[in-house]
Copies of this chain bind each other. A is one copy, B any other.
Amino acid sequence: MLMRSDILTEADGEAVAVDNAEAAGACLFVCEHASRRMPERVGDLGLDAQALASHIAWDPGALAVARRLSSLLDGTLVHQRFSRLVYDCNRPPESSGAMPEKSEIYDIPGNRDLSPAERYARTAALYIPFHDRISAILAERRAQGRETVVVTVHSFTPIYMGKQRDVEIGILHDADSRLADPLLAAAAGGPYRVARNEPYGPEDGVTHSLRLHALPYGHRNVMIEIRNDLIGDEDGQRVVAGYLADLLLRGLEASAPEED
């Protein structure tokens, strides 16, 4: 496979989707792992249906929560329409996690010994258009003098490598914790077990999107990780999204730049 058209056919449609493009709010929501859809020509990568439905293929519930946040806070949402098994848009092409041969306990046969042509085609088809779209949105907003706060929305599996994870919501940040700090402060004593840079953090290479789009421009930013058993159905998604919307409003207010 070589061209991006060898990865995505016309029937597959675009790699990237944008919801609420004309939103008036400051938040730009990003969901890199929104979907477990596999491009027709890529097939199942040698995985069974159970693996293809699991957290290795996507972040279950994350898109639904991101959509609710986009609606509640009137923010634009950019999401990837294909599974991270094909290309994980929160990883740069030089990372072994971009097209992983293994994820948690699952071997991914279709990602083993990928040829340069296949790596290239996936990068061109999925990674570049995704981040180009976010770049373009941010550049236009900067040109308009509009403030943007970048919020990436993820979910994580409650049991990883056989071990239960107790944290329920992770507030992750890279070098810039202007927004994460007040979010954590506001979450203290609340209904969820919320923790900083858990169940993993920037040292694990998970802040790629923030490092691409927010840090170089000084946009306030945060990565939100939700344990996926909390958002497995619409009720859970509604409850968590409502909680996070409130938390974000408080964090945004507390970290707002002072007016001149």
**Residue in B closest to A124 when the chains form the complex, CB atoms:** B128
Known: A94-B93, A128-B123. A117 touches B216 (CB 8 A): yes
**Residue in B closest to A211 when the chains form the complex, CB atoms:** B116
For this chain, the copies found in one complex come to 2
**Residue in B closest to A99 when the chains form the complex, CB atoms:** B94
Listed stretches A70-78, A130-138, A241-249, A252-260; interface member: A130-138
Known: A115-B211, A117-B211, A128-B128. A135 touches B3 (CB 8 A): yes
Nearest Cβ distance between residue A123 and chain B, in whole angstroms?
A: 7
- A216 with B132: CB separation less than 8 A: no
Nearest Cβ distance between residue A183 and chain B, in whole angstroms?
A: 23
Q: Is A119 an interface residue (CB 8 A)?
A: yes
- Using a Cβ–Cβ cut-off of 8 Å, how many residues does chain A contribute to the interface with B? 31
- B139 with A3: CB separation less than 8 A: yes
B residues less than 8 Å from A117 (CB atoms): 211-213, 215-216
Report Cα–Cα, A138/B2, bound state, in Å. Answer: 10
Q: Is the interface of A mostly helix, strand, loop or mixed?
A: helix
Nearest Cβ distance between residue A2 and chain B, in whole angstroms?
A: 5
**Binary B-proximity of A97-118 (CB < 8 A = 1, otherwise 0):** 0100000000000000001110
Residue of A116, A212, A213, A217 contacting most chain B CB atoms (<10 Å): A116
Q: Is A92 an interface residue (CB 8 A)?
A: yes
- B132 with A124: CB separation less than 8 A: yes
Residue of A117, A136, A139, A215 contacting most chain B CB atoms (<10 Å): A117
B residues less than 8 Å from A216 (CB atoms): 1-2, 115, 117
Nearest Cβ distance between residue A133 and chain B, in whole angstroms?
A: 11
Report Cα–Cα, A131/B123, bound state, in Å. Answer: 12
Can you list the 4 inter-chain pairs with the closest CB atoms, starting with the nearest?
A93-B93, A94-B94, A3-B135, A116-B211
Cross-chain pairs A/B with CB under 8 angstroms, 27 sampled: A2-B138, A2-B212, A2-B213, A2-B216, A2-B217, A3-B132, A3-B136, A3-B139, A92-B116, A92-B120, A93-B93, A93-B94, A94-B94, A94-B119, A115-B216, A116-B211, A117-B212, A117-B213, A117-B215, A117-B216, A120-B131, A120-B212, A123-B123, A123-B128, A124-B131, A124-B132, A128-B128
